[in-house]
Chain A
Amino acid sequence: MRGSLRDSSADRRTGRGQYLPARQEKERVVERRRGNRQILMLTYCITIVFLCMAGFLVYFMVAQSQSVINNPYNKRQEVLAKKVTKGKILSADGKILAETKTDEDGKDSRFYPYRDMFCHIVGRTVNSMTGIEGKQGYPMLAAHINPLTQLANTFRGEKSPGDNVVTTLDTKLQKAAYEALGSQKGAIVALEPSTGKILAMVSKPAYDPNRVEQEWENLIRYPNEESALVNRATQGLYPPGSTFKILTAIEYIMENPDTYSKFHYDCSGTDSFSGNVINCYGKEQHGSLNLKMALAKSCNGAFAKIGTTLDITKFRKLTERFLFNKSLPVDFEYNKSKFSLTKDSNMGELTQTVMGQGKTMISPLENAMIVSAVANNGEMMVPYVVDHVESDAGRKVTEYHPKSQGKVIDEWVAKKMNKLMQSVVTSGTGYSLSSLPYEIAGKTGSAEFDSEGNSHAWFVGFAPADKPKIAVSIVVEGAGTGSQYAVPIAKKMFGQYLGE
Chain B
Amino acid sequence: MDKAGAALKLTELFGEYDAVGVIHSIVVELSKYIIIILFAIYTWHCFTVFMGKNEERKDVIYKRQNKIMFGIHFICSLVLFLNSLDWTVIAFYLAQLALLIFVNKAYLYVYRNASKLVLNNMLMLLMIGFVMIGRISQGYMVRQMIFAGIICVLGLFIPLLIEKAAYFDQFGKVYAVLGILLLALVFVIGVERNGSRNWIKIGSFAMQPSEFVKILYVFFIAAFFSKSTSIKNVVKVGMIAAVHVLILVAEKDLGAALIYFITFLAILYVASGRAAYLFLGLGAGSAAAVGAYYLFTHVQKRVIAWRDPWSTIDTAGYQVAQALFAIGTGGWFGMGLGEGLPTKIPVAESDFIFAAISEELGAFFAICLILVEISCFILFINIALRMTRRFYKLTALGLAVEYIFQVFLTIGGVIKFIPSTGVTLPLVSYGGSSVLSTVILFCIIQGLYILNCREVEEVERQPKRQQRR
Contact = CB atoms under 8 A, between A and B. Distances in A.
Contacts of B237: none
A47 B407 CA distance: 12
Interface in A146-164: 151, 154-157
B341 A154 contact: no
Contacts of A155: 14, 17, 22, 26
Nearest to B266: A42
Given A39-B384, A58-B367, A79-B339, A157 B18 contact: yes
Interface string B361-390: 001001100110110011101101111101
Given A54-B367, A57-B415, A42 B269 contact: yes
A36 interface: yes
B324 to A, nearest CB: 5
A46 B377 contact: yes
Contacts of B408: 46, 49-50, 53
Nearest to B412: A53
**Most chain-B CB neighbours within 10 Å: which of A31, A39, A53?**
A39
B213 interface: no
Interface string B46-86: 01001100000000000000000000000000000000000
B466 to A, nearest CB: 9
A47 B370 contact: no
B393 interface: yes
Interface in A439-489: none
A4 B459 contact: no
A76 B393 CA distance: 49
Given A57-B363, A73-B313, A155-B17, A79 B374 contact: no
B388 A61 contact: no
Interface residues of A, number: 57
B43 to A, nearest CB: 11
Contact of B366 (A41, A52, A57, A69): A57
Interface stretch (B95-103, B141-149, B294-302, B329-337): B329-337
A480 to B, nearest CB: 41
Nearest to B26: A154
A57 B323 CA distance: 12
A13 B373 CA distance: 29
Contacts of B114: none
Contacts of B370: 50, 53-54, 57
A156 B15 contact: yes
A75 interface: yes
Nearest to A147: B29
Given A19-B463, A61-B331, A154-B26, A4 B47 contact: yes
A66 B385 contact: no
B25 A38 contact: no
A107 interface: no
A19 B325 contact: no
B417 interface: yes
B361 to A, nearest CB: 14
A354 B387 CA distance: 80
Contacts, number: 172
Nearest to B370: A54
Contacts of A38: 269-270, 273
B460 interface: yes
A75 B340 CA distance: 10
Contact of B460 (A19, A53, A79): A19
A79 B341 contact: yes
- B321, B388, B401 pick with most chain A CB within 10 angstroms: B388
Nearest to A49: B408
B270 A69 contact: no
B118 to A, nearest CB: 12
B385 A154 contact: no
A51 to B, nearest CB: 8
B401 A42 contact: yes
Contacts of B467: 19
B327 interface: yes
Given A65-B328, A71-B310, A154-B25, A46 B463 contact: no
A39 B397 CA distance: 8
A37 B384 CA distance: 12
- Which of B331, B381, B411 has the largest number of chain A CB atoms within 10 A? B381
Contacts of B273: 34-35, 37-38
A5 B382 contact: yes
Nearest to B52: A3
A156 B373 CA distance: 42
Nearest to B381: A43
B456 A68 contact: no
B283 interface: no
B464 interface: yes
B404 interface: yes
B460 A17 contact: yes
A4 B371 CA distance: 14
Contact of A65 (B331, B378, B386): B331
6 contacts: A21-B463, A65-B324, A69-B328, A75-B341, A79-B341, A154-B26
Interface of B: 14-15, 17-18, 21-22, 25-26, 29, 47, 50-51, 266, 269-271, 273, 275, 310, 313, 321-322, 324-329, 331-332, 335, 339-341, 344, 363, 366-367, 370-371, 373-374, 377-379, 381-382, 384-388, 390, 393-394, 397, 401, 404-405, 408, 411-412, 415-417, 456, 459-460, 463-464, 467
| 9 residue pairs, one from A and one from B, having the closest CB atoms | A65-B328, A3-B50, A74-B325, A69-B328, A4-B50, A38-B270, A32-B388, A19-B463, A35-B270
Interface of A: 1, 3-5, 7, 9-10, 13, 16-17, 19-21, 28, 31-32, 34-43, 46-47, 49-50, 52-54, 56-58, 60-61, 64-66, 68-69, 71, 73-76, 79-80, 83, 138, 151, 154-157
